[in-house]
């Protein structure tokens, strides 16, 4: 199993927006994320550590303005923490090894798929297309990726 971790080199390569979101708990403006409309088959990994987070098969259009997923591809790589900022209580989602702020999880997702909506900032993710997964070291997740329309 690969070792996933946050390194200074990886953090130094982040754009200003990626740094603000992942390292300073920021949120990109709704509807602006580069991966919001992505419908290609593949997986979404932490932009800092590379740990696999979500599969295209679990992505859906929620209408919230951020990429939404029904579940993590590897639950051990996603940490959920209580977030009481902004005058409300929410559940923050962070990558386990990269400690990147990803977004939040809400209990208003599709009921037939578990009822959760992982609302994730595009700036915290890197997309790996199905055709590139094996070469990039994510071949073990190919069975969790299907064509999406």
List the domain boundaries for the chain: 8-144
CATH number for the domain whose boundaries are 8-144: 2.170.150.20
- What confidence tens digit (pLDDT) does each residue in 92-139 have? 999 999 999 999 999 999 999 999 999 999 999 999 999 999 999 999
Instruction: Please indicate whether residue 119 is annotated as part of the active site.
Output: yes
User: 43, 53, 93, 119: which one is catalytic?
Assistant: 119
Q: Give the model confidence (pLDDT) of 2-22 as tens digits.
A: 789 898 999 999 999 999 999
pLDDT band at 149 (very low <50, low <70, confident <90, very high): very low
- Reported as a pLDDT band with limits 50, 70 and 90, residue 1 is low
Give, in order, the Cα–Cα distances in Å from 67 to each of 50, 62, 71, 78: 18, 8, 12, 16
């Amino acid at each position: 199993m690969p070792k996933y971790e946050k390194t200074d080199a990886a953090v130094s390569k982040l754009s200003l927006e990626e740094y603000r979101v992942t390292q300073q708990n920021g949120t990109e403006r709704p509807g602006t994320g580069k991966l919001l409309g992505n419908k290609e088959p593949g997986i979404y990994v932490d932009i800092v550590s590379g740990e696999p987070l979500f599969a295209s098969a679990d992505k859906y259009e929620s209408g919230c303005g951020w990429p939404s997923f029904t579940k993590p591809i590897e639950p051990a790589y996603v940490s959920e923490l209580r977030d009481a900022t902004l005058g409300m209580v929410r559940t923050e989602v962070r990558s386990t090894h990269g400690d990147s702020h990803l977004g939040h999880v809400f209990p208003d997702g599709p009921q037939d798929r578990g009822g959760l909506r992982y609302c994730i900032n595009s700036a915290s993710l890197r997309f790996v297309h199905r055709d590139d997964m094996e070469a990039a070291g994510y071949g073990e997740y190919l069975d969790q990726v299907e064509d999406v329309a």
